Amino acid sequence: MVTWVSVNPPLLFLDGDGPLNPYAAQQERRPEGYTTLRVPRIGVHWKTGPLVDYADGRPFAWVDDEQSEPDQTYVTAHHQGPGLLHHVNPRIGLRETDFHTLADWYDSVARMPDAPAHGGD
């Protein structure tokens, strides 16, 4: 039996509010105990730069409800590895289709040849 272990496994950045807590759900549709909030969308999100810096070229998936086109543009310009920005609707949270998207992305990244070791030359 051969076991393949990547020296640069993909990272998963998962936001809580929105994907796990559907805070923007309509009052009649939100789970009991949740409060509806309205959050304005901004340009490049404050998380984008730090996530790219932390990933340091490693593949990553970022699951959030606040990314926008400027965030994808920033990742494309500043990140050397694959980066998936997966937007989750904060009115409904994570659904089965989101997990399929993440699994498909992971499978595609796992088939890629390894880049130099994290932090290596």
17: amino acid identity, one letter? D
Looking at residue 75, its pLDDT comes to: 96
Looking at residue 37, its pLDDT comes to: 60
Residue 85, strand partner residues: 62
Q: Which residue has the tokens 């499978």?
A: 107
pLDDT tens for each residue of 1-52: 434 445 578 888 888 777 776 767 776 666 677 666 665 666 788 899 999 9
Looking at residue 14, its pLDDT comes to: 83
pTM for the structure as a whole: 0.72
Looking at residue 16, its pLDDT comes to: 78
H or E, element range at 60: strand 60-64
User: Token pair of 87, please?
Assistant: 């937007």
Looking at residue 38, its pLDDT comes to: 61
Looking at residue 84, its pLDDT comes to: 96
Looking at residue 32, its pLDDT comes to: 72
Looking at residue 79, its pLDDT comes to: 96
CA–CA separation, 73 and 101 (whole Å)? 20
